[in-house]
């Protein structure tokens, strides 16, 4: 059988142990056609992987100045990497109490991937002076795509009586033992966690509380504080919830909503009352205008009556004069 990768060679019917002579001819032909289609998909997947690799390489280059900026900041924070290691739920299990002082000397941690990301990576650790070794920098390099995957480690210059023995069980290896132990790359869990988790975002572990130092009373006190009750379960006066869950409104927000609704109702009532007053004022204004119009009409009628009365008096005077004239005649 050819040694060429399966995705890069065409298969024939002789390579299929399940294509026995009793398999119907049409079925055998369909299976061979299906294999050709699958081959096309495999080639497409390889091309996609190559394109993805190029994108990852490009972004790794863009990350370098950002990692350098982070490095300058973490170097100004005492025991930054020690705290991040001890707060990590997996790495902390590899650090016994007597080795914590070594991590306090860990000034910087860096992960560098090779140009061909699939070929491997290296972990570079920079230490301040410590009681275990003379090295300032220790590098562990992992080669993944060689014929025999391997790990290379900087030769460590151990101080007297500080070199740890070779670990008997890789599952319980300590950090100090791991520094000088060349475990196969595919079984080095500490290296894998450092590369794929801790180094990507150490800040999340630095700010995380050390769960090993938190007892049940502290947890209960914290929960009571969040609930707004004291140790006896009684409500605390003037309690204000510090963190609100956007998916679950707090009681304060509910009360605030109710208060807001009441204020809106009061405003509506006030608007209605104001509207009523305006309507009353308008109605009063209309009544006054009607009264004024009636008064004006009354005055006009009075004037008309006076004119009529004046006319009647003039007529009477004229009639009286006429009668006098007739009498004189």
- DSSP labels, 172-192: G--HHHHHH----GGG-HHHH
At residue 26, the pLDDT reads 82
| Main-chain phi, psi angles of 106, to 5 degrees | -75, 105
Residue-by-residue DSSP string for 261-301? HHHHHHHHHHHHHHHHHHHHHHHHHHHHHHHHHHHHHHHHH
Position 242 scores a pLDDT of: 47
- Find tokens 């699958």 and name the residue: 38
Phi, psi of 5 (to 5 degrees): -55, 145
Quick one: pLDDT at residue 204? Answer: 94
- Residue 202, CA atoms < 13 Å, CB-side half-sphere: 23
Name the pLDDT band for 147 (thresholds 50, 70, 90): confident
What is d(CA 255, CA 252) in angstroms, rounded to the nearest whole number?
A: 5
Question: Distances from the Cα of 81 to the Cαs of 7, 163, 172, in angstroms?
Answer: 44, 22, 21
The whole-number average pLDDT for the span 11-35 is: 68
How much is the pLDDT for 96? 94
DSSP state of 20: -
pLDDT above 90 covers what percent of the chain? 42
Strand, coil or helix: 242: coil
For residue 195, pLDDT over 90 is answered with yes
Residue 143: which residues within 8 A CB-CB, separation 6 or more?
119, 120, 149, 150, 151, 152, 185
What pLDDT, on a 0 to 100 scale, did the predictor assign at position 244?
40
Lowest mean pLDDT segment, chosen from 20-34, 80-94, 130-144: 20-34
Mean pLDDT to the nearest integer, 157-170: 89
Confidence of residue 280 (pLDDT cuts 50, 70, 90): low
Instruction: Assess contact for 193 and 119: CB atoms under 8 A.
Output: no
The structure tokens listed for 267 are 């405003």
Q: Which two tokens stand for residue 215?
A: 């007892």
pLDDT of residue 248: 44
What are 290-315's pLDDT values in tens digits? 666 666 666 666 655 655 555 555 55
| Sign for the pseudo-dihedral over CA of 73, 77, 81, 86 | negative
The model's pTM? 0.55
Give the per-residue pLDDT at 319: 64
* Cα distance between the two ends of the chain: 169
| Contact between 137 and 154 (Cβ < 8 Å) | yes
Bigger pLDDT: 269 or 108? 108
């Amino acid at each position: 059988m050819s040694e060429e990768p399966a995705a890069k060679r065409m298969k024939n019917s002789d390579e299929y142990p399940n294509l026995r002579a009793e398999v119907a001819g049409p079925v055998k032909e369909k299976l061979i056609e299906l294999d050709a289609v699958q081959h096309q998909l495999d080639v497409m997947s390889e091309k996609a992987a190559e394109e993805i690799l190029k994108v990852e390489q490009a972004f790794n280059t863009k990350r370098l100045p950002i990692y350098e900026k982070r490095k300058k900041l973490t170097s100004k924070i005492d025991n930054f990497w020690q705290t991040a290691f001890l707060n990590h739920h997996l790495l902390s299990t590899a650090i016994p109490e007597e080795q914590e002082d070594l991590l306090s000397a860990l000034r910087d941690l860096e992960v560098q991937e090779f140009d061909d990301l699939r070929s491997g990576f290296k972990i570079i650790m920079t230490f301040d002076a410590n009681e275990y070794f003379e090295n300032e920098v220790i590098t562990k390099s992992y080669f993944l795509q060689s014929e025999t995957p391997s790990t290379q480690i900087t030769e460590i210059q151990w101080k007297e009586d500080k070199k740890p023995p070779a670990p008997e069980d890789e599952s319980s290896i300590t950090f100090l033992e791991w520094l000088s132990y060349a475990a196969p790359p595919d079984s080095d869990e500490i290296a894998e966690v450092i590369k794929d988790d801790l180094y990507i975002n150490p800040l999340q572990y630095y700010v995380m509380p050390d769960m090993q130092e938190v007892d049940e009373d502290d947890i209960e006190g914290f929960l009571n504080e969040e609930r707004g009750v004291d140790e006896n379960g009684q409500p605390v006066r003037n309690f204000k919830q510090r963190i609100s869950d956007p998916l679950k409104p707090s009681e304060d927000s509910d009360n605030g909503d109710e208060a807001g609704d009441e204020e809106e109702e009061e405003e509506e009532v006030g608007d209605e009352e104001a509207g009523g007053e305006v309507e009353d004022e308008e109605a009063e204004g209309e009544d006054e205008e009607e009264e004024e119009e009636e008064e004006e009409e009354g005055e006009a009628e009075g004037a008309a009556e006076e004119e009529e009365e004046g006319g009647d008096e003039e007529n009477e005077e004229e009639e009286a004069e006429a009668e006098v004239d007739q009498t004189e005649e």
